[in-house]
């Protein structure tokens, strides 16, 4: 590390994703340890998503759901009943009563700036990272499910059964609440969330809402977009256009 | 009497050393690192004593702050310390009876809940 770097440059350079191969003392290489974020994330960024419901087809949404299931390892719970099954992202049909226009949208955790789930959590498990990603710290979760009741988007699920063979990057277990993590494990490596990657068009854009030059900020500046339940003033990180 | 005591003590010391130096189930990666004469943990006594603190610290750093370094990552412990079943070439779960993490924990009477969520074998496709 160059000694003349000031703190900010240091943060900039070290937080930039470096997909590398760490070599252990023995010379044995461990590709699983491709290193990524080395410093805490800051509030200089805010991750967001823009979903264009005019461009997003129903097949796209199905693709997003299965990409999420594959990436995070949910959806094959065999002992849970329909309502108990996890649902990190779902397909929703909304109809404008006045015009009859039907739109299909993908609904998941909206990563609110003022998340009600965080307000109600008695253990601080429900939390918002500095960069705006709302998560459940399952290490602190006691499974009370207040957050599930507080969420206006019904975005969170509860694990009702014992699981095994979880994804390495997504530990999940009975008795705790879970939801969309905006693929935080990928974002911290400089990658986009799995559902965004699965869509071939630019119907779903992911990026930094605070970076004026990012594609998402540029698009938000030019198209009409909305937050679902904007009346609640939660300032969601996930925005929709075309509805 | 003294001779008996010496015999007894040397047996005791012997068995302590036998335990501390022999870890038949150290894990596939860890065994080959050890066999090659390299060190991974700077001090065995520190990792033995301090690993709960390291892991608890690391988990908060990663989950709440997004720091994703390899050091003291639970994924790392599992990748290195999981053993392979020689007959079917599958990894044993690190928390199964007799395996690296659980073997010692059983002796000292510690039980973990970590592996109700965390994967107990190296990730899919790991050699």
- Mean pLDDT over B52-69 rounds to 96
Which tens digit of pLDDT belongs to each residue from A91-136? Answer: 999 998 999 999 999 999 999 999 999 999 999 999 999 999 999 9
**Higher-confidence position of A173 and A7:** A173
- Mean pLDDT over A76-96 rounds to 93
- Mean pLDDT over B86-113 rounds to 91
Average pLDDT score, chain A = 88
Q: What is the pLDDT of residue B124?
A: 74
B118 with A184: Cβ contact below 8 A:
no
Distances (CA, A) of A12 to A8, A58, A181, A202, B2: 6, 39, 23, 28, 68
Taking CA A159 as the corner, what is the angle to CA A155 and CA A164, rounded to the nearest 5 degrees? 130
Q: What is the pLDDT of residue A30?
A: 40
Write out the two tokens for A167. Answer: 């994804």
- Mean pLDDT over B98-113 rounds to 93
Instruction: Report the C-alpha gap between A158 and A174 in whole angstroms.
Output: 8
Q: Quick check: helix, strand or coil at residue A159?
A: coil
- Mean pLDDT over B110-121 rounds to 95
Which chain B residues contact residue A174 at CB under 8 A? Answer: 116
Find the range with the poorest average confidence among A20-34, A83-97, B20-34.
Answer: A20-34
Which chain A residues contact residue B119 at CB under 8 A? Answer: 165-168, 171
Report the CATH number at residue A175: 3.30.70.20
A144: closest CA of chain B, how far (Å): 18
Interface check B31 vs A, CB under 8 A = no
* Residue B125, C-beta contacts closer than 8 angstroms, at least 6 positions apart: none
Q: Please answer whether residues B100 and B93 qualify as being in contact, where contact means their C-beta atoms are separated by less than 8 angstroms.
A: no
Q: Please answer whether residues A42 and A11 qualify as being in contact, where contact means their C-beta atoms are separated by less than 8 angstroms.
A: yes
Is beta strand A225-226 parallel, antiparallel or unpaired with respect to A102-108?
A: unpaired
Distances (CA, A) of B60 to A121, B76, B107: 17, 16, 28
Instruction: Report the C-alpha gap between A116 and A203 in whole angstroms.
Output: 28
Q: Chain A residues contacting B, CB < 8 Å?
A: 22, 24-28, 30, 32-33, 35-41, 127, 129-131, 135, 137-139, 162-169, 171-174, 176, 184-185, 188-189
Which chain B residues contact residue A24 at CB under 8 A? Answer: 33, 38, 40
Which chain B residues contact residue A36 at CB under 8 A? Answer: 68
Range of the domain at A106: 2-241
Domain tally, chain A? 1
Task: Compute how many other C-beta atoms are within 10 angstroms of the C-beta atom of residue B87.
Answer: 6
Instruction: Report the C-alpha gap between B84 and A116 in whole angstroms.
Output: 46
Whether residue A5 has pLDDT greater than 50: no
A32 with B79: Cβ contact below 8 A:
yes
Instruction: Report the C-alpha gap between B104 and B51 in whole angstroms.
Output: 13
- Mean pLDDT over B20-49 rounds to 85
Provide DSSP, A29-45: EEGGG-----S---TT-
Which residue, A151, A127, A113, is CA-closest to A233? A113
Write out the two tokens for B32. Answer: 């080959």
Q: What is the pLDDT of residue A21?
A: 38
Percent of chain A residues past pLDDT 90, beyond the cut? 82
Which tens digit of pLDDT belongs to each residue from A126-166? Answer: 999 999 999 999 999 999 999 999 999 999 999 999 999 99
| Rg, chain A, Cα only | 19
Whether residue B82 has pLDDT greater than 50: yes
Interface check B125 vs A, CB under 8 A = no
- This model of the complex carries an ipTM of 0.80
Q: Quick check: helix, strand or coil at residue A208?
A: strand
Q: What is the pLDDT of residue B126?
A: 63
Which of B60, B63, B116 shows the shortest C-beta gap to A135? Answer: B63
Which of B65, B69, B76 shows the shortest C-beta gap to A41? Answer: B65
Instruction: Report the C-alpha gap between B67 and B60 in whole angstroms.
Output: 9
Q: What is the pLDDT of residue A34?
A: 44
Which tens digit of pLDDT belongs to each residue from A189-240? Answer: 999 999 999 999 999 999 999 999 999 999 999 999 999 999 999 999 999 9
Write out the two tokens for A186. Answer: 């990928």
Which tens digit of pLDDT belongs to each residue from A193-207? Answer: 999 999 999 999 999
Whether residue B6 has pLDDT greater than 70: no
Chain A, nearest residue to B59 by Cα: A139
């Amino acid at each position: 590390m160059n000694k003349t770097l000031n703190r900010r440059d240091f943060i900039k350079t070290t937080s930039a994703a470096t997909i590398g191969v760490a070599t252990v003392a023995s010379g044995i290489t461990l590709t699983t340890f491709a290193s990524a974020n080395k410093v805490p994330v800051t509030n200089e960024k805010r991750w967001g998503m823009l979903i264009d419901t005019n461009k997003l087809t129903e097949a796209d949404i199905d693709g997003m759901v299965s990409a999420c299931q594959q990436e995070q390892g949910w959806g094959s719970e065999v002992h849970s009943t329909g309502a108990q099954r996890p649902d990190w992202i779902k397909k929703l049909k909304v109809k404008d009563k006045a015009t009859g226009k039907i739109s299909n949208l993908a609904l998941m955790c909206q990563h609110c700036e003022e998340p009600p789930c965080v307000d109600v959590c008695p253990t601080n498990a429900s939390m918002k990272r500095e960069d705006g990603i709302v998560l459940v710290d399952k290490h602190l979760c006691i499974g009370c499910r207040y957050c599930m009741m507080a969420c206006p988007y019904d975005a969170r699920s509860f694990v009702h059964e014992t699981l095994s063979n979880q994804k390495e990057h997504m530990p999940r277990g009975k008795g705790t609440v879970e939801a969309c993590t905006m693929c935080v494990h990928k974002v911290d490596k400089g990658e986009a969330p799995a559902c965004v990657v699965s869509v071939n068009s630019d119907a779903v854009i992911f990026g930094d809402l605070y970076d004026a030059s990012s594609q998402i900020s540029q698009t938000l500046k030019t198209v009409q977009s909305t937050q679902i339940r904007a009346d609640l003033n939660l300032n969601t990180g996930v925005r929709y256009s075309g509805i | 009497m003294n001779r008996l005591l010496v015999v007894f003590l040397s047996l005791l010391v012997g068995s302590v050393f036998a335990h501390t130096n022999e870890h038949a189930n150290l894990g596939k990666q860890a065994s080959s690192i050890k066999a090659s004469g390299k060190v991974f943990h700077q001090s065995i006594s520190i990792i033995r004593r301090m690993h709960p603190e390291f892991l608890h610290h690391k988990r908060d750093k990663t989950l709440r702050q997004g720091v994703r370094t390899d050091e003291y990552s639970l994924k790392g412990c599992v990748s290195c310390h999981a053993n392979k079943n020689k007959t079917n070439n599958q990894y044993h779960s690190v928390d199964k009876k007799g395996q690296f993490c659980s073997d010692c924990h059983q002796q000292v009477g510690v039980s973990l809940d970590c592996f109700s969520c965390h994967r107990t074998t190296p990730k899919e496709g790991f050699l």
